[in-house]
């Protein structure tokens, strides 16, 4: 008989007033010179306009520089590469999402039972993925970084924490990977695109999965 598997190391619970994480590398924006901050805002505005007009595929460093009427080197210095630029575009909605599930009103935020919070978390993440699909796919981390990106770890740790509260005897770390896997933007794109599944079905399926995992069905 094989030995019992050891559980994953338990993640630390988020602090009472957690600092919101961003998708890309840490920015020094509060310390930026006024002209540099204006340049960054102008570049992001130009990039967002290109996404709206041409989709994420139309966002290149050259196109953003031309739209913002700056040199291409300015774009590279500010964001590093195209992935850095795309992740910066997602930062605003990501920070709003973090603020909502870490400290906003229930059921997404604190104050609701853990199973209700899990349902709300998944539904909101599904909606974000559909609303920002082009950007989400373009900014998808490479396989070797997929589980180490700070924001992904924050999402995983939050789900694992709620699972520990809902089903204390379960392997919450492994189950959190299972639940988060069903919310991956690549999978959501496949289900809503080639498979043609409506959002209502995805939300219902997520709630059903949560119920089965937490034994509340």
Pick from 22, 81, 74: nearest CA to 43: 74
Distance, CA of 136 to CA of 177 (rounded, Å): 19
Residue-range domain boundaries for the chain: 30-80, 89-213
Residue of higher predicted confidence among 41 and 201: 201
Confidence (pTM): 0.75
130-145 per-position pLDDT tens digit: 999 988 888 888 888 8
Structure tokens at 96: 């709003």
Domain 30-80 has CATH 1.10.10: yes
For the chain, state the CA radius of gyration: 19
For the record, the structure tokens of 24 come out as 């890309």
Condensed to tens digits (0 to 9), the pLDDT of residues 37-96 reads 788 888 999 998 898 888 888 889 999 999 998 889 989 998 888 888 888 888 878 989
Which DSSP symbol is given to 58?
G
**First vs last Cα of the chain: how many Å apart?**
32
Q: What is the DSSP letter of 10?
A: P
| 158 in Cβ contact with 14 (< 8 Å) | yes
Question: In this structure, which topology does domain 89-213 adopt according to CATH?
Answer: Tetracycline Repressor; domain 2 (1.10.357)
């Amino acid at each position: 008989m094989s030995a019992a598997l050891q559980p994953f190391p338990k993640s630390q619970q988020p602090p009472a007033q957690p600092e919101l994480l961003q998708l890309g590398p840490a920015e020094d924006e509060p310390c930026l010179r006024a002209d540099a901050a204006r340049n960054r805002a102008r570049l992001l505005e130009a990039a967002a306009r290109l996404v709206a007009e041409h989709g994420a595929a139309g966002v290149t460093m050259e196109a953003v520089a031309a739209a913002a009427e700056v040199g291409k080197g300015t774009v590279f210095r500010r964001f590093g590469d195209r992935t850095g630029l795309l992740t910066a575009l997602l930062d605003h909605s990501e920070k709003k999402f973090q603020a909502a599930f870490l400290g906003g009103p229930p059921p997404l935020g604190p104050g609701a039972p853990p199973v209700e919070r899990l349902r709300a978390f998944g539904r909101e993440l599904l909606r974000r993925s559909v609303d920002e699909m082009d950007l989400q796919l373009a900014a998808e981390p490479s396989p070797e970084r997929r589980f180490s990106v700070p924001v992904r770890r924050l999402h995983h740790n939050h789900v694992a924490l709620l699972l520990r509260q809902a089903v204390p005897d379960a392997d919450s770390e492994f189950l959190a990977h299972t639940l988060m896997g069903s919310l991956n933007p690549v999978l959501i794109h496949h289900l809503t695109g080639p498979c043609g599944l409506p959002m209502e079905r995805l939300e219902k399926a997520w709630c059903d999965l949560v119920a089965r995992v937490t034994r509340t069905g």
